[in-house]
Chains A and B, each alone.
Chain A
């Protein structure tokens, strides 16, 4: 009899032009589906194409377990999607453009919604730290009003090793918390 297939979700979110699509591509090993379309309005000033639906990739963990990587659109008006996205999710990676005040303002709206309604471990990746005008991770944490358990790490979304380290940090944080809880439950 074949073993039951299991699926867990990792949500990659944050404002436009922060590197979400690139991160999803780096982590998946099968079936990447982007939903880019020519950018319009303010987004067109940042890049030619932007994600209008969901980026989706699959990381096959082993014969019975898959991690589904879901990249959200980069606008706070899509916050309502969290109700669906958080089901079966193991964590959320937020990416923010460290050089952009607009990105931080949008991210603040997205994080505020998340913090009030979603109970998932989270980590923030501060991208474009190598560019002039980039805010330091601590300044970003302060501007976003992050909770005491959410770390901010500098990350170059173009570098697979760095994006994997960011995701590992999130998952290991979730693991240590889960182990501590299970220890207390006497499992």
Chain B
């Protein structure tokens, strides 16, 4: 699942990159720019999600070429996915390696996300109960459409950078109080969020 990390990184960084990946028919590639993907590469995305190998490299970006917003491209491609049992297990195994995650709410239905309701349910659970253990969320339904929907939601939100886990504090690292001179933005936000959650 390293290729999903490559795609996520390319989307979050918003810098031009070409991702080359393997398909049963031979090598393929997609070209991403700031917030967009080259329109001519759209269909190629369908073969990306369960590729065996992928590599990325910076690549020049022609701002004049036809493009599609990256959210729209990713969602359109994943909307078309019909997972095999093996593919769902691969995603579940990948999710099991992630710590509980924070979920960002974006109006993805404006980009045609057909599983928006399942995404809203994930976000509501997060707002009500805090960081979500995705492996448990993915496997709540053993079969059926709900299970497939949740796997699509996971794939979309992960690669679009809408899921995040706070970095682990390493042993021996200075305590946050000692770093208060210039705390990270995320640390400040976490303190405020914790305070508001405690008001309930």
Task: Show the binding face of A for B, using Cβ within 8 Å.
Answer: 3-4, 6, 8, 27, 29, 59-62, 64-65, 67, 90, 138, 141, 146, 148-152, 160-161, 164-165, 167-169, 171-184, 187
Residues of B149-200 contacting chain A, CB below 8 A: 161-167, 177, 180-181, 183-186, 188-193, 195-197, 199-200
Cα separation A31 to B191 with both chains bound (whole Å): 20
Chain A residues closer than 8 Å to B189, beta-carbon distance: 90, 171, 174-175, 178
Chain B residues closer than 8 Å to A141, beta-carbon distance: 107, 110
Jot down 18 A-B pairs with beta carbons below 8 A, ordered by A.
A4-B181, A8-B192, A27-B199, A29-B199, A61-B195, A151-B106, A151-B107, A152-B107, A164-B196, A164-B200, A171-B189, A172-B103, A173-B104, A174-B189, A175-B102, A175-B190, A176-B102, A176-B104
B180 touches A3 (CB 8 A): yes
Judge whether B13 is part of the interface by a CB distance below 8 angstroms.
Answer: yes
A67 touches B105 (CB 8 A): no
List the count of A-B residue pairs having beta carbons below 8 Å apart: 119
Interface of A, secondary structure class, is helix
B180 touches A175 (CB 8 A): no
B167 touches A176 (CB 8 A): no
Judge whether B136 is part of the interface by a CB distance below 8 angstroms.
Answer: no
Interface residues on B, range: 35 or more
A4 touches B180 (CB 8 A): yes
A171 touches B104 (CB 8 A): no
Judge whether B59 is part of the interface by a CB distance below 8 angstroms.
Answer: no
A172 touches B127 (CB 8 A): yes
A178 touches B12 (CB 8 A): no
Shortest beta-carbon distance, B159 to chain A, in Å? 12
A64: contacting residue among B107, B165, B180, CB under 8 A:
B180
A180 touches B191 (CB 8 A): no
Chain B residues closer than 8 Å to A165, beta-carbon distance: 127-128
B164: contacting residue among A27, A90, A160, A180, CB under 8 A:
A180
Cα separation A171 to B186 with both chains bound (whole Å): 10
A168 touches B197 (CB 8 A): yes
Judge whether B83 is part of the interface by a CB distance below 8 angstroms.
Answer: no
Chain B residues closer than 8 Å to A146, beta-carbon distance: 107
Shortest beta-carbon distance, B22 to chain A, in Å? 26
Cα separation A148 to B71 with both chains bound (whole Å): 9
A180 touches B200 (CB 8 A): no
A6 touches B188 (CB 8 A): yes
